[in-house]
Structure 1
Amino acid sequence: MLGVGSLLVLVVWLVTTAQTTTTTTTVQGNAFLELPAMDHDANVTCGGLAITVLLRHEYIARNRDWIGDGRFLSLKDRTCRAIMTSDGDAIFSVAGDFSSCGNTVSVTEQLAVTGVLETTEYKFSNQLVHEVGTGIVSRKINLFKFDCIYSANQRLSALTTSADVHVIKVENINGEMEVFKNITEDEVYNSAPNITSDETVFIRVSVKQPPAINIPTVNFKFTTVIETCWTTTTNVNNYTLVENGCPVDQHVDMLANGESLNATFGVQLFQVVVGNATSATVYCVVKLCNKTNENSCVPQCNEKRKKRSTDDEDREIKYFIESSNSRVIELKFPIRRSEALPSVQTYTTTTAKPAKNEGLSKLNTILLVSLTVGVVIIVATILCLTAILCSKNRRGNPKRIDSF
């Protein structure tokens, strides 16, 4: 029976080992590229002498399958690569000429009452990228974008006088918003429309009289660019429709933006607005853009539509006109839901939460049951063999009976 006890101990040890081996996992890296968390994985320091970007070694190690050891990381200009520290951190620096390393330089100017443009601030924009290869075999990953903003009276080491983008602040941008029944914009609603939940309305935002900007070297041809739009409802909920010039919901379709003084989008408003709201009002903030070519002011909402630009196109000077008080353009009347809302019934359901690591638990259970069954079979076999041996011994050695 000592052999049986030893066998049982061995089987129990095997079960425990199988469970431990199955549930213990080691994470070698991320299955998907993780975007750096600012102030945790990365830091940007906007100094007067240099702009510095730090990417920590812990982030690089977690994403080694995607960005390697960090030696192919750079700013927009691929010649501005990382300096690796002894700890494995990657440091990128733009010093001296703040327009180098692919920095986009924006100047914000205020239109004074005298008609003169006064510079108020400078903004330098760049991005951290991982790019390997060239041509059609190249792979480029944009990790994050960053901006450094300086006031005009702040002393910088080598501030460039040329800028890629000029943002001119004016007191107001006078615009109006209209809502149409069809895409051809020939049937306008002059009062609050009543629409069904799946009906599309077409909203046009226009700037009729752009402010007069006098720069002798620039021939202005302004277009209206919708920056952001949202809606408020009767239950005081806000829903974003457009952000950074691009739709943020599948029920919003940008039809024209940055092409002329009219910008238009279609929206199934009560597919975006959820709940029991019976009406919604639309608001938008716009800016003006100086159009230099067909698509120079059109927001790039779809990366697949983006064309690679030459260095000359990247450095093309752009002019934007913005309202200094971020004036909001409001639809003159709300849009109402026409159909009656269905009655709401509340049901209480109980849903069992899946156990954590359910797949591993099931596998452990199967292994445990299988091994237990195996133990039982082995023990039963041993007992049977023992009984057979005992029976044979009894037959071979019969007890002696003395006769009286």
Structure 2
Amino acid sequence: MVSRKRFLQLSALSAGALLIPSYFFSKNSPSPQNSLTNDDVNTLLKNAKAFCKEKKWAKAKGKYEQIISSRPQEARAYDGLRRCIFQKPKQESAYLEILENAVQKYPDNKDLKQRLYSQYIKMATGNKKVSRLKNSNLLSVAQNKLSELASRYPEDQALQHQLAKVNKLISFKAGEIHHKKNPNIKQQHKENQKLFKARFDQLTNDELSSKLTLLKNKPYKKERENHIRELYLILIKRNVKNHSSDQAIQFAKEYHSLYPKDRSAVYWTRRLGKQKRDFQTLLSMEEKNHQIRQNFWSATSYFNAAKKHQPSNTQKLQILLSEMEQKKTDENQEFVLQCKKTDFYLLQNQTTEAENNINSLLNKKSGIRNTSVIDSVNILVIKYLKKTNQEHLTQKYLYLVINAKDLTTSSDPWEQKIAQLNQNRNFSQSSHLEKLQKFLNKV
């Protein structure tokens, strides 16, 4: 007969026996955390992509590996992992091994197979040394594998396109001749570039404008910026070609307001602003450009615009000259600065200071061959002669330039200086003389 005490002991042991297995199994059995849901995968992919944008490759790689450890058939994770692995050189074989192991474990996964065969193609047409270690005819291997896969999935257009691509590469002997020396591949590349550039040719301006507006209204993404810039440039160039300058400058101003650091935006706003004589647009653009860049050339461009359209604002001009002085780094910039200072002196009717600067430039540049530099000094001399009422010299200035070699010992001091400056100039390009003549006509 079981005593009361013994009964209670046995009952306690029975209850423990029921609780202990469930406790241990709850700790040791695979937890739900090791099996990622679709939402978990998408979140991890998003996080990994964010790390890639920040160039935190180790963290991104960890996220992709976390996905693969739980979802080894998730092809998108292999794409991201490839990007991370290839941040280091000579990683083709390492990534190929990862894909081959995945395909070996999951031979029915079409997406993994496509990525593996795509990697074969990249290796065969890229790093010949590595591809030959793998297989001397890796491109044919990829072709055979893709043919077999395409026959199983005839409705898959991406797969059919991939097969057509490898067939073309084999016909071009891409596996034998390097792409930089392969005439067929170089020609194909040129044709692809032409097609890419012409992809918007069939769209009207209104359709392009609608496409641009749609892109701008979408949530911001860095990847969209190049597309938006391209559409702006197409619309600006089309309107310039069609002589719709009002529409062109409107697009240029929008483009510059969105991307003030973009050199194309600055170029087109400056060019169209000058063409339309839109001085306010020019000044605001040059001011903004200088605020962003804060270098010698941005100060020079702003000085040119302010001198032409706000000549009375001497304080601003002096500040810009001072900034140019501080930011100059070479002899060319020193020359440009002295030219701008001379321009400023002439604007302020400080003819003595202007003459001193011009004489200094004439002494330094006398006998040089650089026509652009020579004519920069010529223009300053002409302005000075005009300011000091020496029209007899401005009227025959072109004659002095053309006959410079015969006038280097002229008795007239200015004739002599002008001749010595121009004695070695290059006359092969008539455009320089034409520009000088146009300036003389304006004076």
Per the normalisation by structure 1, the TM-score is 0.20
More strand by share: 1
